[in-house]
């Protein structure tokens, strides 16, 4: 997948999902962040990059877009939250829910960027987490 197409895919996933988690199935920090979201009954979509044939390209696109290549890489309502520690802190201090519930979407969900729209999809490793 070309870099521009992968970047469009990442932007579309962030735009189309209230909470988007880029993760790896074996990563303990990813597991901790996803567990914290689940404990707070926050729905999220997760892509396990180690299970994706284009997972490395997605990580490269995340680096280009956010400056962060590590996982988890988490977004809420188009706002980049960051990694596990950032997510746990934002959940604790209320910033996560503030951004999630903001009427104005964050910069990563705006459609006025040339890379914001795409109908691309990912292969395996995608999870929808329903509220418990």
Maximum Cα–Cα distance across the chain: 39
Residue 20 lies in a domain: yes
Residue 37 lies in a domain: yes
CATH number, domain at 46?
3.40.30.10
Structural domain count of the chain = 1
**Rounded distance, CA 94 to CA 37, Å?**
13
As a whole number, mean pLDDT of residues 110-126 equals 44
Residue 10 lies in a domain: yes
> What pLDDT band is residue 119 in, cutting at 50, 70 and 90?
very low
**Residue ranges making up the domain that contains 50:** 3-107
Percentage of residues in the chain having pLDDT higher than 90: 77
Q: How confident is the model at residue 22, as a pLDDT?
A: 98
DSSP 8-class letter at 116: S
DSSP string, 27-48: -HHHHHHHHHHHHTT--EEEEE
Which comes out higher in pLDDT, residue 110 or 92? 92
Q: Which two tokens stand for residue 16?
A: 């189309």
* Cβ-based burial of 6 (10 A; exposed 0-12, middle 13-18, buried ≥19): buried
What is the per-residue pLDDT across 11-61, written as a single tens digit (0 to 9) for each? 999 999 999 999 999 999 999 999 999 999 999 999 999 999 999 999 999
- Whole-prediction pTM value? 0.84
Angle at Cα 49 formed by Cα 45 and Cα 52, nearest 5°? 100
């Amino acid at each position: 997948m070309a870099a521009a197409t992968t970047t469009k895919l990442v932007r579309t996933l962030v735009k189309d999902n209230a909470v988007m988690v880029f993760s790896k199935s074996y990563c303990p920090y990813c597991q901790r962040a996803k567990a914290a979201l689940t404990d707070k009954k926050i729905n999220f979509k997760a892509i396990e990059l180690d299970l994706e044939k284009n997972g490395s390209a997605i990580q490269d696109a995340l680096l280009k877009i956010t400056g962060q290549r590590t996982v988890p890489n988490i977004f809420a309502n188009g706002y980049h939250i960051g990694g596990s520690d950032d997510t746990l802190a934002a959940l604790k201090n209320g910033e996560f829910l503030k951004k999630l519930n903001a009427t104005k979407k964050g910069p990563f969900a705006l459609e006025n960027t040339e890379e914001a729209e795409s109908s691309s999809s990912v292969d395996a490793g995608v999870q929808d987490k329903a509220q418990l």
